[in-house]
Structure 1
Amino acid sequence: MSFFKRILPHPWLSLSLLVGWQLLMNAVSAGSLIMGAFLALVIPLMTNVFWPNPPSNCRVDRLLLFVCRVFADIVLANLQVAKLILGPRRELRPAFVEYPLSLQHEFSISVLASTISLTPGTVSADISEDRKTLLIHGLDVGDEEAMIEHIRRRYEQPIKEVFECSRP
């Protein structure tokens, strides 16, 4: 392992921590830059044990598009859930759906499960022992196949494009 990789195991995480810290401080000063740089170095080093097999390559342009898509879906899902909850209760059709995974890398599966859980109205509940099926709970599931296709098209396919490790 190179010296750079030992000191900065996750450069994108470090950069986002530094930028996030500066945004929280709402000002750029020597003290805030030093503290931000310290956090940007220490936090990835401390959490490196939780990244046993991180993806080797990431297409940042695709990642930004994916993040924008997820944010838009979160806003839309919030509105849909509010409409369902404020409306008559008899319209809710909660269900568990078994989602067949085509992703194989653990990191990519974690990103998909987290994305599903971030979207209001759906939660990733469990993953099978063989890592081939994700159990998802939906607040309003009219058609299981439509839900599976929606997740595959909106989230799983873009994750494959973002992380090379996800491709077969």
Structure 2
Amino acid sequence: MRLFIWNIMLALAWVSLTGNFSGSGMLTGFAFGYLMLAFVTRMSGETRSYTRKIPQVVGFTLFYIWEIIRSNVRVAYEVLTPTHYMKPGVIGLPLDSDSDAVISLLANLITMTPGTLSLDVSNDRRMLFIHAMYIDDEEALRRDLKDLERRVIELLS
């Protein structure tokens, strides 16, 4: 957390030194501050999770945006065509983590993705029940959802 605050302070210093008081100026300052902090922590021999988390967050964000785009296209196609290809149903997804943060984030990400909805978590927090519009291949859907769960666990660990 300390390095994140330093990164914000470096970004603010960048903005005030360049005189570019805009979102792009702040983003540029944040990027340069991050690179500087990564260089300093590497040269000092410290291994900080902060400098490893930012690329992970960016990668996860890009992955999730791609998943939302794919789902939106599929649902839009379903709405715009006269033939329905839906095979809705409810599946149970076995969970690898019993952390409240992981389960909450995973359930919310699944719900925000068009075509899927998190319904409930079992009492022992080992199973997440999900309604999906398209269950063509139940195992393929589970693999995709397990990949999302793995990425969420990595992001929060």
Q: Is the TM-score greater than 0.5?
A: yes
Question: Is 1:62 aligned to 2:53, yes or no?
Answer: no
Give the CA deviation at 1:113.
0.7
- TM-score under structure 2 length normalisation: 0.64
User: Do the aligned partners of 1:60 and 1:162 also contact (CA within 8 Å) in 2?
Assistant: no
* Match in the other structure for 2:117: 123
| Residue identity matched to 1:150 | D
Structure 1: 5+ residue stretches without partners = 6-10, 16-26, 30-56
Output the aligned Cα RMSD: 2.5
Q: Percent identity, aligned pairs only? A: 30
Distance in structure 1 (CA, Å) of the matches to 2:116 and 2:149 = 15
* Match in the other structure for 1:145: 139
Distance in structure 2 (CA, Å) of the matches to 1:81 and 1:150 = 17
Distance in structure 2 (CA, Å) of the matches to 1:106 and 1:75 = 27
* SS class of match (1:131): coil
* SS class of match (1:125): strand
Higher relative contact order (CA 8 A, sep 6+): 1
1:64-143 equivalences in 2 (<5 Å): 64-143=58-137
For residues 33-77 of structure 1, what are the alpha-carbon distances to aligned partners after superposition, in whole Å with 9 as ceiling and x for unaligned? Answer: xxxxxxxxxxxxxxxxxxxxxxxx773321221111111111111
Distance in structure 2 (CA, Å) of the matches to 1:125 and 1:115 = 13
Give the CA deviation at 1:79.
0.6
Q: Which ranges of 4 or more aligned residues in structure 1 deviate by more than 4 Å? A: none
Question: Is 1:159 aligned to 2:121, yes or no?
Answer: no
| Residue identity matched to 2:142 | I
Distance in structure 2 (CA, Å) of the matches to 1:161 and 1:125 = 24
